[in-house]
């Protein structure tokens, strides 16, 4: 293996000082654009590689950012990660991705791993089973920016980027009412997580505002899962007065519900309307496309990254609570006028 090129080799080649080479490589504003360009071209020709560890020690930055999601095999979280990377990449940041599999112990382990890796920030969506915040406090005590997206833990001084889940639940339910539904069921997640609680509250408020009595038997807490959605619908259809509409907090469980409705010969949307949540890609490509609430995950990721950059560039800690507007995407599964 040949000897590695150093800044002294580049300086000798260009007949300038090593300090000038170093400043040019680190984009120092005191160095002219022409000198920077010359140094970068020469460095590339001589196969020069910067020592990232030394650079991190000198600048106090690792240029690594940790991103924690419940799972990566989801278009929603994958799109958020893409948005974060798109926003941070031009500033030289690399993203370290961790997933919790909805396990609190795994979330704590992820935090520890990222702190040991000396990340410059942690951007995350918490697990459904989150029960304490000590591991979040460890991030804050190290003066490392912590930004929540989608699912957040309510902590003073910590920024978050979410959508208005209450409004999303309200829009979905109001749409079903407008289509003539009188008995609307709701698939919800754990109310320990704000997003599911807020979607439920939006559903509840829409019923109240339109003079429809809330039936607790129509509310089923299930995981975001096709099989679980089908099983829950089978149970609902056995009721003395079965529902004629469903607002699901998940597109996957909404799909399961539609499969069960079809298997029982119930026509969607003529006899039963369905609205999901998240606007997963499959919802628009199905023969019976599914109405859903779009969460703007790409924008959410970009906004979370922008908040991180603002915190890195400000000596004073800032707290931002960014709430994006949801959008109802109306498709065949709920539109009776097309039935």
- The verdict on 169 and 235 lying in the same domain is yes
Q: Which pLDDT does position 180 carry in this prediction?
A: 95
Q: How many other CB atoms sit within 10 Å of the CB of residue 38? A: 16
Chunked into runs of 10 residues, the chain (339 residues) has average pLDDT values of 78 90 81 90 84 58 92 92 94 93 92 92 87 83 93 88 97 97 96 93 98 96 95 97 97 97 96 96 94 96 95 77 96 82
- The verdict on 34 and 45 lying in the same domain is yes
Domain with 89 in it: what CATH number? Answer: 3.40.50.2300
- The verdict on 33 and 159 lying in the same domain is no
- The verdict on 197 and 238 lying in the same domain is yes
Domain ranges, residue 24: 7-50
- The verdict on 149 and 129 lying in the same domain is yes
Q: Note if the pTM is more than 0.75.
A: yes
- The verdict on 141 and 31 lying in the same domain is no
Burial 216-234 (b: 16+ CB within 10 A, else e): eebebebebebebbbbbbe
Q: Which pLDDT does position 58 carry in this prediction?
A: 57
Q: Which pLDDT does position 28 carry in this prediction?
A: 79
Residue 315 lies in a domain: yes
Q: Which pLDDT does position 82 carry in this prediction?
A: 97
- The verdict on 273 and 300 lying in the same domain is no
Q: Residue 184 pairs with which residues in a beta bridge? A: 245
Residue 88 lies in a domain: yes
Q: How many domains does the chain have?
A: 3
- The verdict on 207 and 303 lying in the same domain is no
Residue 92 lies in a domain: yes
Residue with tokens 């607002």: 247
Burial of 168 (0-12, 13-18, 19+ CB in 10 A): buried
- The verdict on 209 and 334 lying in the same domain is yes
- The verdict on 186 and 230 lying in the same domain is yes
Residue 57 lies in a domain: no
Domain with 22 in it: what CATH number? Answer: 1.10.260.40
Residue 1 lies in a domain: no
Query: Which strand (E) or helix (H) includes residue 97?
Result: strand 94-99
- The verdict on 18 and 35 lying in the same domain is yes
- The verdict on 90 and 152 lying in the same domain is yes
Residue 219 lies in a domain: yes
Q: How far apart are CA 224 and CA 277, in angstroms?
A: 10
Cβ atoms of residues 36 and 21 within 8 Å:
no
Q: How far apart are CA 306 and CA 55, in angstroms?
A: 23
Q: Which pLDDT does position 278 carry in this prediction?
A: 94
Residue 2 lies in a domain: no
Residue 56 lies in a domain: no
């Amino acid at each position: 293996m040949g000897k590695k090129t150093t800044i002294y080799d580049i300086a000798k080649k260009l007949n300038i000082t090593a300090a000038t080479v170093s400043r040019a490589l680190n984009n120092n504003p005191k160095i002219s654009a022409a000198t920077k360009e010359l140094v970068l071209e020469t460095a590339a020709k001589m196969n020069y590689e910067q020592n990232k560890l030394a650079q991190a020690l000198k600048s106090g930055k690792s240029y690594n950012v940790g991103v924690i999601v419940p799972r990566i095999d989801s278009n929603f979280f994958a799109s958020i990660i893409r948005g974060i990377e798109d926003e941070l990449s031009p500033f030289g940041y690399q993203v370290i991705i961790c997933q919790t599999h909805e396990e609190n112990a795994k979330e704590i382990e992820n935090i520890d791993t990222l702190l040991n890796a000396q990340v410059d920030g942690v951007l995350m969506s918490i697990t459904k089973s989150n029960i304490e915040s000590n591991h979040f406090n460890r991030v804050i005590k190290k003066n490392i920016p912590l930004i929540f997206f989608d699912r957040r833990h309510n902590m003073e001084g910590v920024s978050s980027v979410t959508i208005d889940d209450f409004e999303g639940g309200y829009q979905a339910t109001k749409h079903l009412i407008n289509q003539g539904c009188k008995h609307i069921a709701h698939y919800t997640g754990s109310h320990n997580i704000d997003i599911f609680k807020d979607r439920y509250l939006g559903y509840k408020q829409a019923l109240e505002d339109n003079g429809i009595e809330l039936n607790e038997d129509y509310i089923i807490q299930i995981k975001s899962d096709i099989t679980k959605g089908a099983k829950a619908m089978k149970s609902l259809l056995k009721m003395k007065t079965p529902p004629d509409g469903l607002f699901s907090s998940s597109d996957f469980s909404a799909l399961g519900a539609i499969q069960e409705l079809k298997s029982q010969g119930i026509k969607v949307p003529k006899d039963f309307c369905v609205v999901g949540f998240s606007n997963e890609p499959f919802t628009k490509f199905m023969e019976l496309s599914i109405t859903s609430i779009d969460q703007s995950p790409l924008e959410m990721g970009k906004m979370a990254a922008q908040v991180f950059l603002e915190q890195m560039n400000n000596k004073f800690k800032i707290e931002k609570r960014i709430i994006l507007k949801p959008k109802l995407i109306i498709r065949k599964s709920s539109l009776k006028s097309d039935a």
